[in-house]
Amino acid sequence: MKLVLASNNAKKLKELQALFEPLGIELVTQGSLGIPEAEEPFHTFVENALTKARHAAQASGLPALADDSGLAVEALGGMPGVLSARYATLFGREKSDAENNRVLLEKLDGIEDRRARFVCALVAVRSADDPEPLIALGRWQGEILRAEQGEGGFGYDPLLFIPELGQSVAALGAELKNRLSHRALASQDLLRQMRESWHLG
């Protein structure tokens, strides 16, 4: 089964493709089909993911999968949240992982409460007007380090420390991350729903 992924992020595609392979699902990015990115005007991961999935399904005529994910920091009231990818631009800085991480560390300077979590909302629709979208949420709890650690991953991975594992997400191997991450947790739930509701696998 072919699903349009409502993202052009190559690293996200690689992670999700590995997670969805067991169901015989092939993911193709919307960009490879010439589909522009959807607007993401909402304040929640679920609403943005649903909007992106419907947009990709409408433009392609295929079932679609969308992921909206980010970092929610307790002391910042859940920010950067849905603005995670462009957090630095809120403060007049360029949009990049490095700047986002720099701004986050500045905002948490002197703050003792470092609790945070990665959140992932995955939404799958059979068509643009699917009345029964499949929605899955995954949360990966950790705390924000005071300096980056690890070479792998992307985004805020070098700053989120997972106490049970004793290291940052960026220090984990890809295989371990794919088993434990917020995206893995949401994917497992979505795969279960696809088996039950879409009769896959």
Residue 70: the pLDDT is: 97
Give the pLDDT confidence of 27-74 residue by residue, as tens digits: 999 999 999 999 999 999 999 999 999 999 999 999 999 999 999 999
- How many Å is the Cα radius of gyration of the chain? 17
Residue 90: the pLDDT is: 97
Helix, strand, coil percentages for the chain (3-state, nearest 5):
40, 25, 35
Domain that holds residue 67: 2-197
Cβ–Cβ < 8 Å for 160, 172: no
Whole-number percent of the chain with pLDDT over 70: 100
- Interatomic CA distance for residues 44 and 8, integer angstroms: 20
Nearest to 81 by CA among 89, 93, 73, 91: 73
Q: What is the DSSP letter of 160?
A: E
Residue 12: the pLDDT is: 81
With both helix axes pointing from N to C terminus, report the angle between 182-197 and 10-20 in degrees, rounded to the nearest 10. 50
Number of domains in the chain: 1
Give the pLDDT confidence of 129-152 residue by residue, as tens digits: 999 999 999 999 999 999 999 999
How many Cβ atoms sit within 10 Å of the Cβ of residue 94? 10
**Mean per-residue pLDDT, 8-22:** 84
**Mean per-residue pLDDT, 23-28:** 91
Is residue 68 annotated as a catalytic residue, yes or no? yes
Active-site hit among 68, 109, 113, 157: 68
- Interatomic CA distance for residues 136 and 5, integer angstroms: 15
Largest CA distance in the chain: 51
Q: CA end-to-end span of the chain, whole Å?
A: 10
Q: Could you tell me the CATH number of the domain that includes residue 147?
A: 3.90.950.10
pTM of the model: 0.92
Mean of the per-residue pLDDT values of the chain: 95
- Contacts of residue 141, Cβ cutoff 8 Å, sequence gap at least 6: 115, 116, 117, 162
Give the pLDDT confidence of 162-189 residue by residue, as tens digits: 999 999 999 998 889 888 999 999 999 9
Cβ–Cβ < 8 Å for 88, 95: yes
Q: What is the DSSP letter of 39?
A: P
